[in-house]
Chains A and B, each alone.
Chain A
Amino acid sequence: MKTMVLQRFGIGLITLLVVSVLVFAGTEILPGDVAEIVLGQSATPENLAKLRSELGLDKPAYIRYFEWLGDMITFDLGISKAGGASIGDLIGGRLYNTFFMGGIVAVIAVPLSIFLGLLAAMYPGSWIDRVVTFATLGLISVPEFFIATVCVLVLSVQLHWLPAVAYMSGDESFLQLMRALLLPILTLVIVISAQMIRMTRAGILNVLHSPYIEMAILKGVPRKRIILRHALFNAIGPIVNVIALNLAYLVSGVVIIETIFAYPGLAKLMVDGVQTRDLPLVQACAMIFCGTYVVLILTADIASILSNPRLRQPK
């Protein structure tokens, strides 16, 4: 078991390395380098050469890659191309905002999805199940911004209940903050839950097809007891797996939602960075997002290994 878990860690690390190469290579494809951009019009060959050697740009690409990687690991994220602010400072508060929203979404979405998934799995083919499966299929096949625009239209424009923009000045009371964040949170909860409900339902139905459940049915154990005492415990592994996977999906959902609601989070910063082609900034954000994603997927993998005795034994 230990070797398997270690192996997963190894794969996770390799993935991160490949990502860093991809992210770094992105900058290398671009014509021109930072020195040319910084100097702009006043670039003479001597000036350029001097700045390049100052910035270390005259070294070969692979050496610069390792230096960049070292900087990333020690959280020295470099300087933004636009405005020359330190990326560490730019990211700090934004990162907190994004994790804050993600945390709230997880706390609401996880119990809700497990409950609805269980309910649908408990009565397969019933109207509850049909409504849940149809609604979630619909929700997973539309873009996040569709759900967001509909929420805004109904809750903010038609009913005037909530503000359409998650603007934060920093000195609101907690209640005001919650009110401003309610729409983005609601949208993300809907997006994430739809996936999670489907996967929970599938996970439990899968367990329900096993022989020991059939045995329990034949013994005359009531349905509720079968689900809650027999099936649920064996489905915990797959469900933890599903939760980790879906929190990872949050990473992509957050990009769209922050843009729609103008929420000052990390994803918004990254999208702005892409628009202005501020590569150092995009690199740093991409590494943070991909790192989080890889860690969550790793957690999902390890959870499923730990919870399933059959997976613990290497074949």
Chain B
Amino acid sequence: MNDEKKSDIEAKQSVDTDPKAEESSSDQFEELQTAPPKQKLKLSWVGKIAVVIIAIWIVIAFAGPYIAPFHEADMIADDSFLPADKQFWLGSDYLGRDTFSRILWGARTTIGISFISTLAAYFVGITLGIAAAVKGGWTDTILSRVNDAILSLPTIMLGLIIIAALGSSIPILILTAGLIYAASVYRIARALGQDIMVADFVECARARGEGVWWIIFREVLPNCAMPLATDFGLRLVFVVLFISSLSFLGLGVQPPMSDWGSMVRENLQGLGYGSFAAIWPALAIATLTISVNLVVDDISASAGGKLAGKMV
């Protein structure tokens, strides 16, 4: 619960803005007289709609279980694959559970797991990436080689291998996704870190006799913050797709917990009877991921495409 709340706040920051991120970093540098002017983020109308959709999903991730008309595991309807009606807004699923309620419950599982995984990926990736950039030498070479090997494999294959070996549970899912996506975060963090380490202001700090930790926390990290925050959105999309693909294969979140990916799988057979039960959760994933992508696109466009170049 607490974790989710924390992650939520951070999500909002990474999504709706970078002015905020800049504010907080400039707080630390009050002594600077001529701070660069605040950049105003301009969202296109498509971007604005996307922000609203993301906000709605975030609210649902928190409030879902409280506002849902039924419990996720309640087999409440008389029959399976009922069409939508007044009582069951989106119809019932293959066990006669309310699809609408399950989507509301599932928001917490899907978004929550993805969020924590992405945070884990960021923690590991940034720590190692900055360490490689700051230390250089052997540390850098070894970390980068291992990283290249991980990056040169399809993520879903890695996921399948790990789950075949360890079985599937929520902590393992989070660790798997976190480790796999840490590789790409590492690459970005290292590239950004290397750029900053050779900048004049770092040289100045060194000449002043500042320690390594001071340089990392006061110079390197604040300067990486903005591009990394934007990239967080992209990474989150990949993680949502990864986790729901695994769930879809029946290897992710296990029943009776609801999760958008496994809901699609469970109700796939209903398509044949003309039931939309498999479409709704798929649509939920689609609206979330498309919206995040649109917002990230807008942000990188307003940053003059410079970010996009670094993120590839």
Contact = CB atoms under 8 A, between A and B. Distances in A.
B282 interface: yes
Interface of B: 145-146, 148-149, 152-158, 160-167, 237, 241, 244-245, 248-251, 261, 264-265, 268, 271-272, 274, 276, 278-279, 282-283, 285-286, 289-290, 292-294, 297
Contacts of B237: 141
Contacts of B248: 143, 145, 256, 259
A5 B157 CA distance: 27
Interface string A133-157: 0000110111111100110110011
Contacts of B166: 29
Interface size class of A (residues with CB under 8 A): 35 or more
A279 B285 contact: no
B282 A279 contact: no
Contacts of A275: 250-251
Chain B binding site: helix, strand, loop or mixed by DSSP? helix
25 contacts: A11-B148, A14-B149, A15-B149, A138-B290, A141-B293, A143-B244, A145-B261, A145-B265, A145-B282, A146-B282, A146-B286, A152-B271, A153-B271, A157-B271, A249-B154, A251-B154, A256-B245, A271-B249, A274-B164, A274-B249, A275-B250, A289-B154, A290-B153, A293-B154, A294-B152
A15 B282 contact: no
A149 B282 contact: yes
A293 B279 contact: no
Most buried by A among B157, B264, B271: B157
A184 interface: no
A29 B165 contact: yes
B154 A248 contact: yes
Most buried by A among B237, B244, B251, B264: B264
Interface stretch (A16-24, A57-65, A217-225): A16-24
B25 to A, nearest CB: 29
A306 interface: no
Given A142-B289, A142-B290, A164-B272, A19 B245 contact: no
A186 B62 CA distance: 38
Contacts of A259: 248-249
Given A156-B271, A252-B157, 16 more contacts: A141-B286, A141-B293, A143-B285, A143-B286, A143-B289, A145-B245, A146-B286, A149-B264, A149-B282, A157-B274, A164-B271, A260-B268, A271-B251, A282-B164, A290-B157, A294-B153
Contacts of B279: 149-150, 153
B154 A141 contact: no
Nearest to A146: B282
B161 A286 contact: yes
B164 A144 contact: no
Nearest to B269: A164
Contact of A289 (B157, B283, B292, B294): B157
A146 B283 contact: yes
Nearest to A21: B149
A30 B162 CA distance: 11
Nearest to B46: A134
Contacts of A138: 286, 290
A44 interface: no
Contacts of A282: 160-161, 164
Contact of A22 (B148, B155, B161, B249): B161
A252 B249 CA distance: 12
A302 interface: no
A294 B161 CA distance: 16
A200 B198 CA distance: 34
B116 to A, nearest CB: 19
A270 interface: yes
Nearest to B154: A252
Contacts of B289: 141-143
Nearest to B243: A143
Given A15-B152, A282-B161, A256 B249 contact: yes
A149 B278 contact: yes
A48 B310 CA distance: 56
Contacts of B165: 26-27, 29-30, 279
A198 to B, nearest CB: 12
B111 to A, nearest CB: 14
Contacts of B268: 149, 260
A277 interface: yes
A213 B278 CA distance: 49
* 3 pairs of A and B residues whose beta carbons are closest in the complex: A26-B165, A18-B149, A146-B282
A273 B250 CA distance: 12
Interface string A265-295: 0000011011101010010001001100110
A152 B286 CA distance: 17
A201 B194 CA distance: 30
Contacts of A157: 271-272, 274
A57 B271 CA distance: 48
